[in-house]
Amino acid sequence: MSVKTVRIGARGSKLSQIQAQSVLEKLREAAPQFSYELLAIKTSGDIDQHSSLSALGGEGLFVKELEAALGRREIDLAVHSAKDLPSTLMPGYRVAAVLERAPVEDALISANYPGLMDLPPQAKVATGSPRRRALALAYRPDFRIVEIRGNVDTRLCKLRDGEFDAMILARAGLIRLGMEHHITQILPPKDFVPAAGQGALVVESRSDDIEMKQLAEEIDSVYDRACFNAERSLLSALKVGCSVPVGAWARYEGGRIKMDALIAARDGSQVIRSSGFAHTRQEAKALGELVARDLLVQGGGDLLKHV
């Protein structure tokens, strides 16, 4: 009797392959009756390493080619960084699993300075994220922001060569790459609110593939899924994706889901914040909608018109 091979697709970047390999190993441990194969899928965002993410289309940039491979049945499951997912999936696809979340914080890396506030006047700070750009400028309006793309090794080389004074990256990615030792400051998430889904990995399947849905559920974290749902609900209610300066961080505290969120002006001149609680996992979606509504009442809609 032949053993079914489950084909897992992910972006071709080093980090994406490391993340997908960790998912593969969890699946193999949970369901050893299958064999597993990892496939690298080139995406638009990986091919063009020079244009900004917003110029390339922003939301869903790293997802659509993986979904196309799912649709053609070239792969059975796709692994994404949760922050790359659009707030609403295309018809025919589902989030089959949300894995236990890694640390959510943003991290500062600098060769010469221990923290964000220690950087010299007019310091060059590199980031490819509109949210990180806005929050860095909210802390220090004098910063000169440098748009940067590419893998972490390339960015570290540019930092060492003096092209900028510091850069801001996701702590989770640095941990997964074994590069956490480069971090000079972990930015506090209650102030420097992370992107929705930051630190989480998601497994996507075709909606009609019940076997793969049931397989992925073996590694699903119901608590992290609830937080993920709250954050995506906020994005959906705001009608925004990952290419705008919006932060959302839901987590369990004291038996409840707490969410902090913000909308920032692109230049950091204004940051609108809100927070809220939900008592059960079933209320996660409503929590995201509630916090989004409060952000809009405070004037967040006007900020979003100009980003």
Pairing of strands 5-11, 77-81: parallel
Contact call for residues 219 and 203 (beta carbons, < 8 A): yes
242 is catalytic: yes
CA distance 296 to 238: 8
Catalytic-role residue among 171, 176, 227, 242:
242
Name residues whose C-beta falls within 8 Å of residue 200's C-beta, 6 or more positions apart in sequence: 81, 82, 83, 98, 99, 101, 102, 224, 227, 228
Catalytic choice (11, 131, 206, 251): 131
160 is catalytic: no
- Is 213 assigned a catalytic role? no
Alpha-carbon distance 22 to 24, whole Å? 5
Run of H or E residues at 196: none
> Which residue in the list 11, 76, 84, 176 is annotated as catalytic?
84
Q: Does the active-site annotation cover 158?
A: no
Q: Which of 101, 132, 225, 285 is catalytic?
A: 132
- Which of 140, 149, 256, 281 is the catalytic position? 149
Using CA atoms, how far apart are residues 84 and 236, in angstroms rounded to an integer?
Answer: 14
Rounded Cα distance, 195 and 244, in Å: 10
- 273 in active site: no
Catalytic site residue from 11, 101, 155, 213: 155
Judged on CB neighbours under 10 Å (0-12, 13-18, 19+), 73 is: exposed
> Which residue is listed with tokens 């930051």?
198
Burial class (CB in 10 A: 0-12, 13-18, 19+), 137: buried
Question: Which is the catalytic residue, given 11, 76, 83, 209?
Answer: 83
Question: 180-183 long-range CB contacts below 8 Å, 24 or more apart?
Answer: 182/109, 182/156, 183/107, 183/108, 183/109
State whether residue 147 is helix, strand or coil. strand
Residue 46 — φ and ψ, nearest 5°?
Answer: -80, -35
Catalytic positions, written as ranges: 83-84, 131-132, 149, 155, 242
